[in-house]
Chains A and B, each alone.
Chain A
């Protein structure tokens, strides 16, 4: 935490820290505290007067079925994206970890979607699955599937899940591959000699040894689904049809956009904030705990 060799002084370190602290305070702490403050305020319909209403915004929020809907949507969305992108990425990583020729090339070919902006990923997928002109949508329709993400909430959810998963596989793949490569080769060889066949070897040795990576990725993926997928949802469905793909973050945006429900939007922000902090705390806990072997 601290070097044994260091400089003394007060002015220089203060000057060095000043830009970072100034920006942090102006663009982080001040707005975050504003969010908390606003969540206790209520504007009247015309935006003329503002009252301090304690927890009324929160009460309304939790009484709002639309908010529950956003919770459920977020839960479904996160679950599917996490499970799909983690398992597919793990499969690819295990395959790429075999010492086959060209493994490096495959690695390069699998990681680049990380660089694609979520909003662009959304555009790519809506283009394929647009009910009227999408190539794959037409294929589905001609196969007898009544595919229409513009009208059917399940179709819309499927589409955002696919787009979000597609983009996240590369990230998970990279970390799983690094995790696999950090397992000592001799431990795997010991298991080979101990008579564990590949399938059993994977589940009794490799997978448990990957668990720190898996857990880390799980938290990162949840945060990804919560926040970074905003662009995907906005370009693919815009939260629709009728709020069926509206997640918590999307709702903060759409409720606050018109400026009519700033208090409610702020309350939602605060709830999200608490959730992120809880997740980060869990992650730190775990990182400490993984020291146990």
Chain B
């Protein structure tokens, strides 16, 4: 406490800086690759600094598309990803706020049963029931639609549990006071519960947006047409084209574009992100 501070701090700086380097290096390299031409990359002569093809590569991938694999421009893939992420985040918030409100603020038969039906799904990631779920979506002819991409991922217990937990911390006196002031269930929800929940809603939104944007296995299965594919799927197709030469500079530009929105969300809304992460996992 008295003496070891300086040495300890120096060690901390060194270790944290190494950490930042490890974390950032793969992304830096990706960025660099996205600014060179394919020949440089394929010959294994990629330097550590950016090259001259930045605008050319990004323009081409955003609005024209890679030639050998998928002809869809990345801009439309990003739109698909965005719609899917927004639908999942907003959908999840709406249905879980409503169900949590019913469970916390109403007493009715089978209340606990309803709670447990939702709660148990906490343990069922989509990966373990992937093909039967796929079959359901296909039977409902929701393949290659935004509904098919988003709706099956909307229902999960996380949001309901989070809101339930938050509602439990709202003092009972607020409801009693609202009742005395003549507010019914709808008014109380609109005027008291929702305003108080805004930060929780925002935090959940941040987490679920990232979750939605980064989905992989599910869109891989339910999208077959190129026009419906998300950016994370698109990049896979660019790299896994068997013998055709992968256009690495375009794939890497796509990777940068795929990372950009969720990373921006984390960096710009760090406080909400941390809150959301810590609270949804409790």
Q: Per the CB under 8 Å rule, do A and B touch in the complex?
A: yes
Are B114 and A17 in contact, CB atoms less than 8 angstroms apart?
yes
Bound-complex Cα distance A31 to B152 (A): 11
Least Cβ–Cβ distance between A71 and chain B, in angstroms: 15
Using an 8 Å CB-CB cutoff, how does the interface string of A8-23 with B read, 1 for contact, 0 for none? 1110111011011101
Are B270 and A111 in contact, CB atoms less than 8 angstroms apart?
yes
Bound-complex Cα distance A97 to B92 (A): 34
Using an 8 Å CB-CB cutoff, how does the interface string of A256-270 with B read, 1 for contact, 0 for none? 100000100110010
Using an 8 Å CB-CB cutoff, how does the interface string of B104-138 with A read, 1 for contact, 0 for none? 11111101001001100111110111111101110
* Any B CB within 8 A of the CB of A186: no
Q: Which residues of B contact A234 (CB under 8 A)?
A: 216-217, 220, 236
Q: Which residues of B contact A220 (CB under 8 A)?
A: 281
Instruction: For A123, give its contact among B96, B104, B251, B274 (CB under 8 Å).
Output: B251
* Any A CB within 8 A of the CB of B22: yes
Are A276 and B107 in contact, CB atoms less than 8 angstroms apart?
no
Are B122 and A32 in contact, CB atoms less than 8 angstroms apart?
no
Bound-complex Cα distance A138 to B258 (A): 27
* Any B CB within 8 A of the CB of A153: no
Using an 8 Å CB-CB cutoff, how does the interface string of B222-233 with A read, 1 for contact, 0 for none? 000000000010
Are A20 and B96 in contact, CB atoms less than 8 angstroms apart?
yes
Q: Which residues of B contact A88 (CB under 8 A)?
A: 19
Are A28 and B263 in contact, CB atoms less than 8 angstroms apart?
no
Are B95 and A20 in contact, CB atoms less than 8 angstroms apart?
yes
* Any A CB within 8 A of the CB of B196: no
- Most-contacted residue by chain B among A34, A135, A171 (CB, 10 A): A135
Using an 8 Å CB-CB cutoff, how does the interface string of B5-34 with A read, 1 for contact, 0 for none? 000110111011001101110110110010
Could you show 30 A-B contacts with beta carbons less than 8 Å apart? Answer: A4-B172, A7-B185, A9-B185, A10-B109, A16-B99, A17-B99, A20-B155, A21-B114, A21-B118, A25-B117, A35-B132, A95-B19, A98-B8, A98-B9, A100-B12, A106-B16, A115-B265, A119-B232, A119-B235, A120-B214, A124-B29, A124-B30, A135-B29, A169-B19, A230-B216, A231-B216, A238-B240, A266-B132, A273-B128, A276-B128
Which 6 A-B pairs rank lowest in CB-CB distance, beginning with the nearest?
A: A117-B214, A31-B132, A23-B155, A115-B262, A34-B132, A16-B102
Q: Give residues in A with beta carbon < 8 Å to B.
A: 2-10, 12-14, 16-17, 19-21, 23-32, 34-35, 38, 88, 91-92, 95-96, 98, 100, 106, 108-121, 123-128, 132-135, 138, 166, 169-171, 174-175, 178, 189, 192, 198, 216, 220, 223, 227, 230-231, 234-235, 238, 249, 252-253, 256, 262, 265-266, 269, 272-273, 276-277, 280
Q: Give residues in B with beta carbon < 8 Å to A.
A: 1, 4, 8-9, 11-13, 15-16, 19-20, 22-24, 26-27, 29-30, 33, 41-44, 46, 94-96, 98-99, 101-109, 111, 114, 117-118, 121-125, 127-133, 135-137, 151-152, 154-155, 160, 168, 172-173, 175-176, 179, 184-185, 210, 213-217, 220, 232, 235-236, 239-240, 248, 251-252, 255, 258-259, 262-263, 265-267, 270, 273-274, 277-278, 281
